[in-house]
Structure 1
Amino acid sequence: MKKINELFAVDADFKIQSIYSDSRYVGKDSIFFCIDGLSVDGHKYIEDAIFQGAKCIVYSKPLTFKHKDVLYIKVDNVLDELNRVAIYFMIILVTR
């Protein structure tokens, strides 16, 4: 578990339990990374991820709507950010 402000340069201060790029597996207090893949665009599944419990959305394309209780972080390359954040979660698992 990490705090969001340990993972990104944001003022928000809440705990993150997990990270996902597939909205079907998102759980409470997680980050959803909107990966723009070859056949599926993760941006299409933001609402599903929020319904499943995502507290933070990392995205790269313009959004038409944002929920007030969700933190949105716009980045240039979502996959790069997912890889960077995943390293922090791996460090936690190794040091336990």
Structure 2
Amino acid sequence: MKIGQKIKEARECQNISMNHLAQKCEVSQANLSRIESGHQQPAFDTLERIISALGFSLAEFFADGTPDITPDIRALLPIIQTLTPRQKQALQRFLEAMQQ
């Protein structure tokens, strides 16, 4: 998969708008659009800012195979970490009930 496609997939999995990501990594929305579409290759520092804004390290982003934690799950972790143990148990029961 090409870099632009991988960035777009990670952004969409996290339900982040292109505009929000562009602001977060200090890249114009037009440049981000060109990068995602493959019409422009990002400079290394730009690529590093984009990947960081998506919550990945460079190693995680470019690792072969399926990452241990997908971007959509990674986006939930900060929220889950703020829950009390009782809330976490309730969330686990809720998720288990959804699976059935």
TM-score of the superposition, structure 1-length normalised?
0.29
> Higher relative contact order by CA 8 Å / sep ≥ 6: 1 or 2?
2
TM-score of the superposition, structure 2-length normalised?
0.29
Higher helix proportion = 2
